[in-house]
Amino acid sequence: MAHYTILGKDPYWMNFYGLMALTVIEVAAVGIDLSKSTTLAILTVIAIPKFLMIAGIFMHLYGDGDSKVLTLTALFPAFFIIVMVLFIGLTHPEATTGLPDWCRPGNYGL
């Protein structure tokens, strides 16, 4: 159990309630007939706090005594992943539009 609270409650339960609320918003955004760009914007905005909540509470990157060390350890490979994605996306002319056929939905050949 955590030795701290969020709004006076157990952080795991508060995180659970927050994740469920954000999931309901995501499901509603996909279920409602919105434009693709609006739906994508909603899903992207919702994904950021969900990531922070999961990483902070469940991965113990927030609130524990050694959380600063764990946060740096978790963020170290993230830097290289971001650099890799950016360099592949920026140096390969068809990185986003020229996917092979087997990468596209509906063409899995199953």
Domain ranges of the chain: 1-64, 66-110
Question: With contact defined as beta carbons under 8 Å apart, do 12 and 57 qualify?
Answer: yes
Give the DSSP H or E segment for 34: none
- Of 42, 37, 48, the closest CA to residue 25 belongs to 42
In this structure, of 29-43, 46-60, 73-87, the range with the lowest mean pLDDT score is 73-87
Question: With contact defined as beta carbons under 8 Å apart, do 2 and 10 qualify?
Answer: yes
**Chain-wide mean pLDDT for the chain?**
77
Q: Is the pLDDT of residue 107 over 80?
A: no
- Sign for the pseudo-dihedral over CA of 24, 25, 31, 36: negative
Q: Name the residue with tokens 């950021």.
A: 48
User: How many whole angstroms separate alpha carbon 78 and alpha carbon 73?
Assistant: 9
What global pTM score does this model have? Answer: 0.56
Q: Is the pLDDT of residue 49 over 80?
A: yes
* Percent of the chain at pLDDT exceeding 70: 61
Cα dihedral 105/55/85/108 (nearest 10) = -20
User: Given this model, what pLDDT does residue 78 score?
Assistant: 81
In this structure, of 1-15, 36-50, 93-107, the range with the lowest mean pLDDT score is 93-107
